[in-house]
């Protein structure tokens, strides 16, 4: 039975046009339902011939096309780990039937044969739909390309890279060729480290009309197959979290004109690899993890890209499973002026290209984007994250919601007036304020957890959240950060308050000691509380928060408003806690008889 085509419970559900729960019900209710022939107890697989016979015997309608049979046969022909290799062989078979002379253009000349049953099924599908459509059907079912850009994003990326709809394009980490196929097979070239992925990509491109060898095998950073060649555009979604890239062996490589990326920044190696392969005036469009825009080790190279006028836009993509950005770079023409602005935007995939085109033509980009002066980004962080520079929601909608909330707010809530617009958010980071001597930053020691007993009060993260007096205790303050009244204390997840009791700093907290003649404590605390919530719990989060340097009188006015909002929230929280206690004790008293209605 090992050689037979097998199917999973999900496959059976699709064949019978029912849900997975129905298949599970069949297995429980019918003693003659086929037993699994392989797989595991959590993922059993059944012989397709047995399942078909059972469905017919029990009058269950089902539909199984030649394409379905080809895919199931492909799945059943060996270990799942080798499925990409079997898919590549199936593609080679279809290519050989379509144009045998093109087989010589495939990378890694390994066995192109499919087993006879699969070959017959592939021929049947190709006879009806054509070899290219037959192979695209199989590739669409293959989940090995998970993490690739969506169709909408791939279309947007290629439209940005090739605005006129034609030209030569390179993808140096092409996977199974999806981006290159969208860009157009005629002048597409790719490179892929995985041999099976490279063969799949090559088959797809050759079936789509490529004439030259379209894909090279081997890792492009280690072995550049296109050294010295330039293209009209480079489009790619390079691998993420690749910490094995050859950092040590690439020192002095001509591709890294903007600096050798640190070991933890392989994505910036791909950025510069793309720039090395694009003609003057050509664009490089890459999908990169969102963290690349802000990670501290990469700030020097990000600054160099900005100063050279190479980086033109960072677009935060909204529907990605993992937070991802699209970077748009352009290799300048000789003697071309250096651009003064960078487009930062938050956008859906199908709107990304239009957003870029408006910016590139000098028009206003839209309400969810901002053209930021490059000089404002060249600070100590060089943080290019769109979320750091954009309003978190549409100001008009936010103003409307605030007005609704203020209408029912307690009397002590500060009076906030809507304004006609929003201010320019250009500012300096807290870290820069520390370098200017306007404040000092003190992090709690790693072992600063409070003990159960002792006489020295410890300010904990819980105290910071609720505004309680320090509840922690420890036996000694030696080696710990002392908090003075007037210090601003912050936590990694955005909690912040002005301390009003002496204590020592609890675990994971940071104290900001400032000059009150230059910075208002409540103003700084309010900004720290209102900053976007960081990814993770880095203690450096507070130092990356941006602060507008306003006259001290304006700071104090804003600080009073921040404090009023905090006091109102504290009062509401305390009232809710009292109401909850009254509900519990009052109900208990009525049940047990020590309370009665008046």
Fold of the domain spanning 147-173+220-389: Rossmann fold (3.40.50)
Of 181, 47, 177, 69, give the one whose Cα is nearest residue 123. 69
Determine the longest span between alpha carbons in the chain, in angstroms: 98
What's the rounded Cα separation, in Å, for the pair 272 and 290?
Answer: 17
Question: Strands, E, within 134-262: which ranges?
Answer: 169-171, 188-192, 215-217, 231-236
Q: What is the pLDDT of residue 237?
A: 94
Torsions phi, psi of 535, nearest 5?
Answer: -80, 120
pLDDT of residue 1: 36
pLDDT of residue 440 exceeding 80: yes
In the predicted structure, residue 597 carries a pLDDT above the cut 60 = yes
Triad 326, 331, 337: Cα angle to 5°: 110
Residues 145-166: tens digit of each pLDDT? 556 888 889 999 999 999 988 8
Instruction: For residues 348 and 373, give the distance between their C-alpha atoms in angstroms, rounded to a whole number.
Output: 24
Most confident range (mean pLDDT) of 38-47, 132-141, 404-413, 517-526 is 517-526
pLDDT score of 112 more than 70: no
Question: Tokens 């995939």 — which residue?
Answer: 349
Structure confidence at residue 160 (pLDDT): 97
Q: In the predicted model, is pLDDT for residue 425 greater than 60?
A: no
- Residue 35, pLDDT > 90, answer yes
What does the pLDDT read at residue 366? 66
Nearest Cα to Cα of residue 565 among 416, 392, 407 = 416
Cβ-based neighbour number of residue 410 at 10 Å: 10
Q: What is the mean pLDDT of residues 41-53?
A: 84
CB atoms within 10 A of CB 33: 16
- The whole-number pLDDT of residue 110 equals 61
What is the mean pLDDT of the segment spanning 538-557?
83
The pLDDT score that the predictor gives to residue 235 is: 97
Matching residue, tokens 């499919």: 114
Separation between Cα atoms, residue 545 and residue 411, nearest integer Å: 31
Does residue 16 carry a pLDDT above 90? no
Could you tell me if 462 and 468 are in contact, meaning their C-beta atoms sit under 8 angstroms apart? yes
Q: What per-residue confidence (pLDDT) applies to 332?
A: 95
Going by C-alpha positions, the residue among 498, 490, 499 that lies closest to residue 545 is 490
Q: Return d(Cα 194, Cα 206) in angstroms, integer.
A: 18
Angle of CA points 102, 106, 112, to nearest 5°:
90
pLDDT score at 405: 79
Can you give the pLDDT at residue 395? 63
User: What pLDDT is stored for residue 536 in this prediction?
Assistant: 45
Query: Phi and psi (nearest 5°) for 589?
Result: -65, -40
- Third-level CATH fold of 423-567: Adenine-n6-DNA-methyltransferase TaqI; Chain A, domain 2 (3.90.220)
Mean residue pLDDT of the chain comes to 87
Return the pLDDT at 198: 94
Work out the average pLDDT over 201-224: 92
Torsion-angle region of residue 108: left (phi > 0), alpha (psi -120 to 50) or beta? Answer: left
Task: State the pTM of this model.
Answer: 0.74
Share of the chain above pLDDT 90, in %: 52
Cβ-based neighbour number of residue 519 at 10 Å? 21
Q: At what angle do helices 48-57 and 9-16 cross, to 10 degrees?
A: 40
Contact between 482 and 464 (Cβ < 8 Å): no
pLDDT tier, 393 (very low <50, low <70, confident <90, very high otherwise): low
Pure H helices in 239-368: 266-276, 299-307, 349-360
- pLDDT (0 to 100) of residue 426: 59
H helices of 373-427, in order, are 374-377, 386-389, 395-407
Q: What is the dihedral of CA 249, 255, 259, 262, to 10 degrees?
A: -40
**82: pLDDT confidence band, cut at 50, 70 and 90?**
confident
Using the predicted structure, report yes or no on whether residue 182 has a pLDDT greater than 80. yes
Q: Report, as an integer, the average pLDDT of 281-293.
A: 95
Per residue in 302-313, pLDDT tens?
Answer: 999 999 999 999
The pLDDT confidence band at residue 134, using thresholds 50, 70 and 90, is: very high
Beta carbons of 295 and 343 less than 8 angstroms apart = no
Mean pLDDT is lowest, of 338-342, 409-413, 477-481, for 409-413
Residue 541 scores a pLDDT above 80: no
195: pLDDT confidence band, cut at 50, 70 and 90?
Answer: very high
Least confident of 297-301, 373-377, 544-548: 544-548
The Cα-based distances of 418 to 327, 400, 456, 556, 560 in angstroms read 35, 9, 45, 19, 17
What is the sign, positive or negative, of the torsion defined by CA atoms of 113, 117, 120, 124? negative
Give the distance from CA 581 to its chain's centroid. Answer: 43
Could you state, in order of their start, the residue ranges of all structural domains in the chain? Answer: 6-64, 147-173+220-389, 423-567
């Amino acid at each position: 039975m090992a050689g037979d085509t097998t199917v999973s419970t999900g496959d059976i559900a699709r064949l019978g046009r029912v849900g997975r729960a129905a298949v599970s019900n069949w297995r429980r209710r019918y003693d003659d339902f086929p037993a699994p022939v392989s797989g595991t107890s959590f993922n059993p697989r059944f012989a397709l011939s047995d399942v078909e016979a059972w469905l017919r015997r029990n009058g269950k309608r089902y539909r199984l096309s030649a394409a379905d049979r080809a895919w199931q046969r492909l799945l059943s022909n060996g270990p799942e780990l080798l499925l990409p290799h079997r898919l590549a062989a199936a593609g080679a078979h279809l290519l050989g039937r379509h144009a045998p002379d093109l087989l010589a253009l495939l990378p890694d000349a390994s066995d192109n044969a499919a087993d006879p049953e699969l070959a017959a099924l592939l021929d049947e599908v190709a006879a009806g739909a054509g070899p290219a459509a037959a192979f695209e059907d199989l590739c669409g079912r293959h989940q090995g390309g998970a993490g690739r850009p969506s169709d909408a994003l791939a279309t947007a990326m290629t439209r940005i890279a090739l605005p006129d709809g034609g030209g030569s394009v390179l993808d140096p980490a092409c996977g199974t060729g999806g981006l290159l196929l969208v860009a157009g097979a005629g002048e597409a070239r790719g490179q892929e480290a995985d041999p099976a992925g490279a063969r799949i990509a090559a088959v797809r491109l050759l079936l789509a009309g490529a004439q030259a060898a379209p894909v090279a095998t081997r890792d492009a950073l280690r072995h550049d197959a296109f050294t010295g060649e330039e293209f009209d555009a480079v489009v790619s979604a390079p691998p993420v979290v690749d910490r094995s890239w050859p950092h040590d062996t690439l020192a002095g490589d001509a591709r890294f004109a903007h600096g050798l990326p640190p070991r933890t920044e392989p994505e910036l190696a791909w950025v510069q690899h793309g720039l090395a392969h694009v003609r003057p005036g050509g664009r490089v469009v890459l999908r990169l993890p969102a963290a690349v825009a802000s990670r501290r080790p990469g700030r020097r190279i990000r600054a160099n890209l900005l100063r050279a006028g190479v980086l033109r836009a960072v677009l935060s993509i909204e529907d990605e499973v993992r937070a991802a950005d699209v970077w748009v770079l352009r290799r300048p023409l000789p003697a071309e002026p250096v651009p003064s602005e960078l487009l930062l935007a938050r956008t859906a995939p199908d709107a990304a290209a239009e957003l870029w085109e408006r910016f590139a033509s000098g028009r206003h980009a839209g309400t969810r984007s901002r053209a930021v002066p490059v000089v404002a980004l060249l600070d100590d962080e060089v943080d290019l994250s769109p979320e750091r520079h954009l309003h978190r929601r549409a100001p008009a909608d936010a103003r409307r919601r605030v007005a609704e909330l203020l209408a029912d707010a307690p009397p002590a809530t500060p009076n906030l007036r809507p304004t006609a617009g929003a201010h320019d958010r250009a500012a300096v980071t807290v870290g820069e304020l520390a370098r200017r001597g306007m404040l000092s930053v003190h992090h709690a020691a790693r072992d600063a957890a409070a003990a159960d007993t002792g006489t020295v009060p410890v300010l904990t993260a819980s105290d910071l959240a609720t505004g309680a007096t320090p509840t922690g205790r420890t036996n000694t303050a030696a080696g710990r950060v002392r908090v003075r009244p007037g210090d601003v204390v912050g936590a990694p997840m955005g909690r912040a308050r002005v301390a009003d009791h002496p204590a020592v700093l609890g675990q994971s907290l940071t104290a900001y000691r400032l000059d009150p003649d230059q910075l208002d404590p409540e103003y700084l605390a309010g900004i720290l509380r209102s900053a976007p919530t960081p990814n993770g719990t880095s203690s450096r989060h507070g130092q990356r928060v941006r602060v507008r340097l306003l006259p001290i009188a304006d700071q104090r006015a804003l600080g009073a408003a921040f404090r009023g909002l905090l006091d109102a929230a504290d009062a509401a929280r305390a009232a809710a806690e009292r109401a909850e206690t009254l509900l519990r004790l009052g109900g208990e008293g009525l049940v047990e008889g020590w309370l009665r209605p008046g």
